[in-house]
Amino acid sequence: MSCLIDKDFIQDCGDINPSGVGDKLMIYNKEDWDSMKANGTVIFDGTDGSISSIANETAKRAFEFDVPPGAFKPTSAPVVIEGNYTMFEHSANFPIIVTDQDAKNTAQALANGKVVIVYMKYTGKGEVVGNEQGLNLQAGTYEPGNSDTGGTLPLEMKSARKETKMPLTYFNTDEATTLAEFNNLNVAGV
């Protein structure tokens, strides 16, 4: 089995979790993200270090994950290393709804690989988690008969290693441009 995500995780409205779909995450395999950074299709703002544009390379794309409303919980905690040098440990907790073998294969790929998560905040700006080191799956228990979780697999993703920066802001020109670009991150570049 591959350690790379290879399918979107979009909910079927005919078979949807009772809580609904609320947040959309775009998840890149870390090696694709690094290739895009190296080849200049992830553009960093020279002034503040934020990301001003993301364009997919040929055959590279993010994979779309739909999660229930309010279920995506990203955090970033400072960690003091050897005195005063502060680094950051990122985490992103979210459930995926496991309804078929494709969903199980995707969960297995998350368990064995590294990813970068791009998501939109309510402010019209996005955020990128795992830019430097990527995120690895740390925990997740699949309980298909558990009525509390509704058959979801709650995932806890954490920094593969500590990063030197907090998650990066993603904003391209204005809210509409950023959102349009974000909504196309799951389309492979040509």
Name the pLDDT band for 11 (thresholds 50, 70, 90): low
The pLDDT of residue 127: 93
Contact 65, 25 (CB under 8 A): yes
Burial bucket for residue 130 (CB in 10 Å: 0-12, 13-18, 19+) = buried
What average pLDDT score do residues 144-171 get? 84
**Structural contact between residues 93 and 155, judged by C-beta atoms closer than 8 angstroms:** yes
Confidence of residue 89 (pLDDT cuts 50, 70, 90): very high
Q: In the prediction, which pLDDT does 188 show?
A: 86
Mean pLDDT on 17-41: 81
- Check whether 49 has a pLDDT greater than 70: yes
Average pLDDT of the segment spanning 118-146: 86
Domain boundaries, the chain: 23-183
Among 12-16, 46-50, 74-78, which is the least confidently predicted range?
12-16
Closest CA to 50 of 118, 120, 128: 128
The mean pLDDT of 158-169, rounded to a whole number, is 90
**What pTM did the predictor assign?**
0.83
The predicted pLDDT at position 1 comes to: 41
pLDDT at 171 over 50: yes
Q: Which amino acid is at 81?
A: I
